[in-house]
Amino acid sequence: MKLLSLLKKSKIGSSIQYQIKPRKVKFEWQQTPVDWIPNQPFVSYFVNEINMILPAGEFWFCRLYNKVLPQISDEKLKQDVKAFIRQEAMHAQAHASANKEYLSLRNIDVERNLKLMDFLFGKLLADQPLGLSVPKPLEHQWDLFRLGIIATVEHMTCVLGKYVLYNQYWQQLGADPSMLDLVKWHGAEEIEHRTVAFDLYRHLGGGYIARYYLSVVVIAGVLGLWVDGAAHIMRQDKRFKSIHPSVFKPWIWREWYRISQQDNRLMPSPLWLVSQQLGYLMPWYDPVQEAKTEDALAYLNHSPAAKRAILKVA
């Protein structure tokens, strides 16, 4: 009975008092090598793949959030969602610049991975999936399903955001400052806006039980796409040519696990990432408790790209 009342007592609006601040940034890629963490090609490719996964997904967040914006009745949540949209659009642009001005210029084919993401987020998960119009009575359910996916992904991006924000090891290994700043700036903003997707999902009627199957869909989808995309860019490198990495072959999964076991400051273990979903499935899950906003802001106040943005505005 107590549990039921806990589940029903959803927060109606925003769960934060502070204002989320969008920052305009620009990264320079001229000096960034493919192995942006020296002597760590596997880890470098793995992180580089996020440049291809994120833009289409984050622009999709923006489109869907703009669509449901008029349905938000809580003024503070509406402000949060507007700031979230501006942050996510900037993330997408920053990662897209890495594809164009960094990876493509180093002769890495990014098109195949980008096309896959465009299909997924531009067609399959569109307002009209694969061009089919959703019947009016089901439209809200379709939106809610997609908002639930975003809330689950945002839990993951907060977890990954914490991992990169507190990671000092990449810097000790001599990581490229631009890529390091990109992932830390992005991770810190993911922490800053970690409540928004969850608040919005619940505000518009998203239920608790759906979190279970959405978690399974999201974790399988994200890990599968990430490994598949990383394998595609690794295959182009002659150091990996004889292995011919593929999402369907055990090597890439074993190598990921092996490196994470060798030192989890190099990359987080895939099993650890899956285990991080457990907290999200608890009835008392509260994204506010997931991370410390002050740590994220402390980084954002020193991030070279965010500082350049302030100078430009001033």
Q: Is the dihedral of CA 221, 227, 233, 235 positive or negative?
A: negative
Contact 256, 267 (CB under 8 A): yes
Total residues in contact with Fe ion, by rule CB under 5 A: 4
Q: Least separation, in Å, of the C-beta of 153 and Fe ion? A: 8
91 in contact with Fe ion (CB under 5 A): yes
- The pair phi, psi for residue 72, each rounded to 5°, is -85, 125
Q: Least separation, in Å, of the C-beta of 290 and Fe ion? A: 13
- Following CA atoms 162, 163, 169, 175 in sequence, which dihedral angle do they give, to the nearest 10 degrees? -90
Q: Given the complex with Fe ion, which of 89 and 144 has the nearer CB atom?
A: 89
Binding piece for Fe ion, criterion CB under 5 A, among 88-96, 237-245, 273-281, 288-296: 88-96
Amino acid identity, position 260? S
Q: Given the complex with Fe ion, which of 187 and 245 has the nearer CB atom?
A: 187
Binding piece for Fe ion, criterion CB under 5 A, among 69-77, 136-144, 153-161, 213-221: 153-161
d(CA 102, CA 29): 6
Q: In this structure, what token pair is assigned to residue 121?
A: 């987020």
Q: Least separation, in Å, of the C-beta of 90 and Fe ion? A: 8
184 in contact with Fe ion (CB under 5 A): no
Q: Least separation, in Å, of the C-beta of 231 and Fe ion? A: 23
d(CA 255, CA 261): 10
Q: Least separation, in Å, of the C-beta of 25 and Fe ion? A: 12
- Scan residues 189-248 and list those touching Fe ion (CB under 5 A): 190
Q: Is the dihedral of CA 264, 269, 274, 275 positive or negative?
A: negative
User: Of 225, 189, 19, which Cα lies nearest the Cα of 88?
Assistant: 189
Binding piece for Fe ion, criterion CB under 5 A, among 63-71, 91-99, 127-135, 306-314: 91-99
Q: Given the complex with Fe ion, which of 157 and 167 has the nearer CB atom?
A: 157
Binding-site ranges for Fe ion (CB under 5 A): 88, 91, 157, 190
